[in-house]
Amino acid sequence: MLKPTQVFSPLAEQLEPEGAFVYLDLAAEARRKGIDVISFGIGQPDFLPPREVVDAVKEALDRGFIRYISTLGLPELRERIASYVSEKYGVDVKPTEVAVTVGAKAALYMAISLLTRPGDEVVVQDPAFPTYECVVRHAGGRPVFVKLREENEFRLAREDVEREIKDLHRVRGIVVNSPHNPTGAVLSESDVEELIELAKRRNLFIISDEIYEDYVYEGRHRSFLQDPEWRDYVVYVSGFSKTWALTGLRLGYVVAREEVIRALDVFATNMYSCPPAPLQYAALKALELGTSWFKSYLEEYRRRRDAAVEELGRIPGVRVVRSRGAFYLFPNVRELMGRLRVGSTDELARRILFEAGVVLLPGTAFPLRGGDGYLRVSYVLPIERIREGFRRVREWVEKVGG
């Protein structure tokens, strides 16, 4: 008989590990074997935020801010986020419509769990950040996958969603992410408007993960918050991890109607009491400084993307969309797999890691079929390393592919 600490809830078992972290472990294994690894695997920026942002935490510690704070974060931070987001997107967000969370991930976990009832169907992009569909299932819901088409630059198209849900009767919402992990796709203004129009017509929520909102290289980011009726349909999620390169401080936030924020207050009370107190001051300082310092980094990231696209184009059997946002590319490697007689995307990624010393995540880590035959490239490293990494892959392909 199993012992009581060996029997787990089927709802908890809906949660799955993240492919990105699996590959971090594999990369460590490769390094232990003496392989010099170039990693396109991790989704975090490689620059440092302005010095003052980190110093603000040190000052907070000196001032003794090591006690519980409000569950939804410091009131002054919620106020500042409200005005920041309002100004950024020309909307009118009130402080009571803001919650600070332990990373954008806690925001997503809570928002999806709150809005998905057991038996509900929720549209998830395929490929997508794996947490979305795991948490839908964890909440007792059923993810409805809408495949992103390469020929549409991986942008989620209303007609594709409509086709998938037209015969379904328990569809409750859509989890959307633009700029998009893992493809780098950026929804256009009309993409966003059409999705909101569909949400209104079918009475669906839109949980919009906009954590990469400042990483857009052509055109402008359109937020789902920009719809005048956002309170009725939209839960907006963002944070300080990407723009301010503060992944390790776990500073996320949600903008949503007040009832949702009140429910998240109760949720977070039971989940972690409050976000860590001293780190809140990094966020406050970040918003005080604004993002003008960020422009030069954005330019650098655009140059990296272009270098990566160029190098990928030189590898036989690989083609790539020049995605407009985030810091990801999603090259199609199906022809390469055929040429090398590699059976699965995961096998290809493992061989590239252990034989060429380069981490590229298999598209299937995000999380199902839509990423089959694709690799995710995170170009968060210097241009010369990017070129060196893809040169290694090209040489490996030329060697093993005859």
| Residues numbered 179-208 forming contacts with its own copies, rule: CB under 8 A | 199, 203-205
Minimum separation from the CB atom of position 378 to its own copies (A): 13
Q: Are strands 375-378 and 361-362 parallel, antiparallel or unpaired?
A: antiparallel
Q: Which one of residues 18, 193, 300, 306 is an interface residue with its own copies (CB under 8 A)?
A: 18
Q: Which one of residues 29, 47, 149, 273 is an interface residue with its own copies (CB under 8 A)?
A: 273
**Judged by CB under 8 A, does residue 17 bind its own copies?**
yes
Stretch that binds its own copies, among 187-195, 252-260, 332-340, 363-371 (CB under 8 A): 252-260
Q: Which one of residues 69, 144, 165, 321 is an interface residue with its own copies (CB under 8 A)?
A: 69
Cα 195 to Cα 60: distance, rounded to the nearest angstrom: 42
Contact 99, 264 (CB under 8 A): yes
Q: Which one of residues 173, 370, 371, 373 is an interface residue with its own copies (CB under 8 A)?
A: 173
Q: Which one of residues 67, 166, 201, 220 is an interface residue with its own copies (CB under 8 A)?
A: 67
CA atoms within 13 A on the CB side of 220: 8
Instruction: Classify the C-alpha dihedral 293-93-87-219 as positive or negative.
Output: positive
Contact 340, 355 (CB under 8 A): no
What are the tokens at 139? 């909440």
Nearer to its own copies by Cβ, of 174 and 312: the residue is 174
Cα 192 to Cα 197: distance, rounded to the nearest angstrom: 9
Minimum separation from the CB atom of position 154 to its own copies (A): 23
Q: Which one of residues 32, 33, 36, 270 is an interface residue with its own copies (CB under 8 A)?
A: 270
**Judged by CB under 8 A, does residue 29 bind its own copies?**
no
Q: Which one of residues 23, 27, 38, 71 is an interface residue with its own copies (CB under 8 A)?
A: 71
Cα 284 to Cα 254: distance, rounded to the nearest angstrom: 15
**Judged by CB under 8 A, does residue 1 bind its own copies?**
yes
Residue 18's CB is within 10 A of a number of other CB atoms, namely 17
Q: Which one of residues 35, 50, 65, 401 is an interface residue with its own copies (CB under 8 A)?
A: 65
Q: Which one of residues 27, 139, 161, 309 is an interface residue with its own copies (CB under 8 A)?
A: 139
- Count of chain residues binding its own copies (CB under 8 A): 86
Q: Which one of residues 80, 172, 180, 376 is an interface residue with its own copies (CB under 8 A)?
A: 172
Nearer to its own copies by Cβ, of 274 and 320: the residue is 274
Cα 210 to Cα 193: distance, rounded to the nearest angstrom: 15
**Judged by CB under 8 A, does residue 115 bind its own copies?**
yes
| Residues numbered 209-238 forming contacts with its own copies, rule: CB under 8 A | 231-235
Minimum separation from the CB atom of position 10 to its own copies (A): 6
Nearer to its own copies by Cβ, of 262 and 339: the residue is 262
Q: What size, in residues, is the chain? A: 402
In angstroms, what CA-CA distances link 52 with 58, 80, 185, 250, 377?
10, 17, 32, 18, 31
| Residues numbered 333-392 forming contacts with its own copies, rule: CB under 8 A | none
What are the tokens at 237? 């999620």
Contact 175, 182 (CB under 8 A): no
* Phi, then psi, of 176 in degrees rounded to 5: -125, 155
Nearer to its own copies by Cβ, of 260 and 309: the residue is 260
Cα 275 to Cα 110: distance, rounded to the nearest angstrom: 14
